[in-house]
Structure 1
Amino acid sequence: MSTLHVGYFNLGLDADPPLARAIRGELVRQQDGIELIASENIVSKLVLEAQGSVMTNKTVEGFAYARYYGGAEYADAIEALAIERAKTLFGCSFANVQAHSGSNANNGVFLGLLKPGETILSMKTAAGGHISHGHPATLTGRDYDIVHYGVSRETEKVDLEEVRNLARKHRPKIIVAGGSAYAWTLDFEGFRAIADEVGAYLMVDMAHFAGLVAAGCYPNPFPHAHVVTSTTNKSLRGARGAMALWNDAVLSDRINYGIFPGVQGAVMLHIVAAKAACFGEAMRPEFKAYNRAALENALALAGRLAEHGMRLVSGGTNTSLMLVDLVNQGITGDIAATALEAVGIAVNKNQIPFDTRPPEAPSGLRLSSSAGTTRGFGRDEFRQIGDWIVRAIEARGDAAALAAIHEDVRTLCRRFPIYDAA
């Protein structure tokens, strides 16, 4: 082999200094900072290695053992392994693990089960729903008739009577349960009763609590849901991708072909390999212990913030995420998030139910215990994080005070290293 080819195959990250600096900078940011964004977690080296494997080089279209491309022996084995593990984890009969993202999984299900213009009943984004469930800026919002339910003004929790009344009035073809900023368990049996009454499919998007379901810490959407979608990152601690799950064989072709070729093309096999890895990890006893700890830590953080006078939307949480109302602090979520980033705490600004402010400068923050629990933080650490959140928001604009908090954050993080941090 020529020197030219040998050099090519052995190029490493150092061959591209600007890219290397950015990636290594991100590693340091993760090692020295506290991650409270609910859409993020910290994957194992097993997941990283699977995702960075030679499966990156292989392209296939179609489904395992029925490809349009040759050379798929090991691709088929990997996808079949991921499917079997997903079915075992969530107690269902069928799984599609090809979706590139949660939005793709949702769009594929909608495309497979609906005709253009048919009605979807889903949670509004300001109440905690996800944009892929019908926000007007998305394909779903453009192609289907979207009706939204919200939450009760009194409890800030889903009111199934409102859902039932809207379903009776609008006769949706799909009712979606689940969202991205809802902190309480959902009544899947109650949703299914409404769906059956109006002849709708019940679709559960469990992206933010899939890991809790796999660990037995949150009710399983099955057997109540007709179809379940989820990302594979977040509480599952896996590759950034998604899946769809169901039990009825009649739906198989519709869902599978809704995803491919409906909304996306070839399979990203390196991601499917990483999904198989995280599903395997989720079958281990340690994963249940992790999710139990994430719940305890979320309660510790929420309790500490409440002690400081911060209001928790819906009164708190029984999942690993929470929504904080900043109105009483006289600050908006974007300003609070900037102050927290200055001390090495990553959060995301978020609207709260009935928010009068826009998404760009909303009244709340969304927080999660998932990533911090992965790196080993316990209740004491999360109570300390609650103190830092309050101090940083109060000290916004005071560079010296923020720098002091930032140093304390780094000290804590170095007690709980990730990826062999020095």
Structure 2
Amino acid sequence: MTYDTVAETDPAVARALEGERERQNGTLSMIASENHVSEAVMEAQSSELTNNYAEGYPGSRYYGGCRYADEVEQLAIDRAKELWGADHVNVQPHSGSQANMGVYLAVLDPGDKILSLDLTHGGHLSHGHPANFAGQVYDVEQYEVDPETGYLDYEGLRETAEEFDPDVVVSGYSAYPREVDFERIQAAADAVDAYHLADIAHITGLVAAGVHESPVGVADFVTGSTHKTIRAGRGGIIMTSDEYADAIDKAVFPGTQGGPAMHNVAGKAVGFGEALQPEFTEYAEQTVANAKALGERLRSHGLELVSGGTDNHLVLVDLRSSHPDTTGKDVEEALEEAGIVLNANTVPGETRSAFNPSGIRAGTPALTARGFGENACREVADLIVDVIDDPDDEAVVAAVGERVTELTDEYTLYE
């Protein structure tokens, strides 16, 4: 993909786009919520559908000229149903957060109660943080992981549900490295006659490939992002039963947004089609194997992992015991200088601020998309530890950067 036409019209934007391509090609993305989509997905997202205004749904639009928009959206819906086994799918949400908003609007009134995981324990802003719309519109109570094990405290969740009596229990997380027992959370929701919303934004692709337990058919609503482990067009998705289909569709449009971003829906359709191929299961299995190898190697260097390891695509490192004077932001900035991009992250029992927390979160979806296997991920773990041990040593950072350049040259991305 080139930006020749953009360069003729707007050289400043073209320079930024070319810089971003070079940045992605020349660095290792380990942000757990990021991935590298195929060139086919990128082509679909840059299609003429960006010009189309398709308010409504396939076969029932408020505008003319939607013949091909209907075809593309129906392909995305049908492929999503096949991937996840859902009765009803809405592919229009612009993001995972807007997918959650759609569910809340469909079944809640302002002031109703949401029970969700605390953000510092691995939850998400859209699950009820006070800075987010959900925390401002609804009454939110939060559960936690077990402080000793780092695993979800299912008994504590149930006890809190019985005391709080929520209208919705939210499962699914942004920084939880273990498999989720959705059946057990469903039982807790049933016990208090609450809806269960399973937000699988991070593990959408792992669930589709069958390498993580699926909440579809268990929870009342399943939401997700379509650009993380599933590697499709950027946006969100809602899956539910036929019972709630109309309420969800009305909550998305016109409830929370106007016309869908049809070029992104096209990217979703293409990405879902790719995920239906046998190679995608291999990709998802490798993503998890890579995360396990990464985590085991980090532990061998004396780093503490929240919950002691991982079952999915990410590891969460708590720096407080091994490097008490080093913050997650220190590590994030030094690693980015060396060409390894991940993020500082809060950890359970966080003693610092969310802006400069005590942990780092590292994921393997993008590395796996580049072709990394376990051995390469073990080497990346070694490089990460080199920087964690001496984040202020310019020579160490430079040496790690040189090896990163060799790895990105070996595992090429976009031409």
Q: TM-score, normalised by structure 1?
A: 0.96
SS of equivalent residue, structure 2 residue 297: helix
Partner residue in 1 for 2:170: 176
How many Å apart are 1:200 and its aligned residue?
A: 0.7
Amino acid at match of 2:354: P
Partner residue in 1 for 2:46: 52
Which of 70, 75, 84 is matched with 1:76 structurally? Answer: 70
Q: Within 5 A, what are the aligned runs for 1:28-107? A: 28-107=22-101
Q: Deviations over 1:111-146 (max 9, x none)?
A: 111011010111110110000000000110010010
How many Å apart are 1:240 and its aligned residue?
A: 1.5
1:309 matched to 2:302? The reply is yes
SS of equivalent residue, structure 2 residue 115: strand
1:329 matched to 2:362? The reply is no
Decide whether the 8 Å contact of 2:216 with 2:239 is kept in 1: no
Partner residue in 1 for 2:285: 292
Decide whether the 8 Å contact of 2:6 with 2:13 is kept in 1: no
The size of the alignment, in residue pairs, is 410
Partner residue in 2 for 1:356: 351
SS of equivalent residue, structure 1 residue 236: coil
Paired with 2:156 and 2:346, the residues of 1 have a C-alpha distance of 21
How many Å apart are 1:400 and its aligned residue?
A: 2.4
SS of equivalent residue, structure 1 residue 120: strand
Q: Deviations over 1:354-398 (max 9, x none)?
A: 111110010000110110000001111101100110111223222
How many Å apart are 1:84 and its aligned residue?
A: 0.6
Partner residue in 1 for 2:220: 226
Which of 405, 413, 418 is matched with 2:400 structurally? Answer: 405
Q: Within 5 A, what are the aligned runs for 1:171-320? A: 171-247=165-241, 249-320=242-313
Which of 115, 118, 127 is matched with 2:112 structurally? Answer: 118
Partner residue in 2 for 1:387: 382
Paired with 2:384 and 2:136, the residues of 1 have a C-alpha distance of 39
SS of equivalent residue, structure 2 residue 229: helix
Paired with 1:101 and 1:231, the residues of 2 have a C-alpha distance of 6
How many Å apart are 1:329 and its aligned residue?
A: 1.2
Partner residue in 1 for 2:410: 415
Paired with 2:137 and 2:74, the residues of 1 have a C-alpha distance of 33
How many Å apart are 1:11 and its aligned residue?
A: 4.2
Partner residue in 2 for 1:5: none
How many Å apart are 1:336 and its aligned residue?
A: 0.6
How many Å apart are 1:251 and its aligned residue?
A: 1.0
Q: Deviations over 1:290-338 (max 9, x none)?
A: 0111111101110110011000001110101110011121211011100
How many Å apart are 1:15 and its aligned residue?
A: 2.6
Paired with 1:159 and 1:395, the residues of 2 have a C-alpha distance of 35
Paired with 1:316 and 1:380, the residues of 2 have a C-alpha distance of 17
Paired with 1:319 and 1:138, the residues of 2 have a C-alpha distance of 27
Q: TM-score, normalised by structure 2?
A: 0.97
How many Å apart are 1:265 and its aligned residue?
A: 1.1
Amino acid at match of 1:403: A
Decide whether the 8 Å contact of 2:41 with 2:267 is kept in 1: yes
Partner residue in 2 for 1:163: 157
Paired with 1:155 and 1:14, the residues of 2 have a C-alpha distance of 57
Decide whether the 8 Å contact of 2:122 with 2:176 is kept in 1: yes
Q: Deviations over 1:275-294 (max 9, x none)?
A: 00010000000000001111
Paired with 1:11 and 1:219, the residues of 2 have a C-alpha distance of 45
1:133 matched to 2:127? The reply is yes
How many Å apart are 1:250 and its aligned residue?
A: 2.5
Segment of structure 1 superposing worse, 328-337 or 39-48:
328-337
Partner residue in 2 for 1:372: 367
How many Å apart are 1:223 and its aligned residue?
A: 1.8
Q: Deviations over 1:160-187 (max 9, x none)?
A: 1111111111111111111100011111
Q: Deviations over 1:47-99 (max 9, x none)?
A: 00000001111111111111110111111111111011111100011000000
State the superposition RMSD in angstroms.
1.0
Amino acid at match of 1:85: R
Decide whether the 8 Å contact of 2:316 with 2:360 is kept in 1: yes
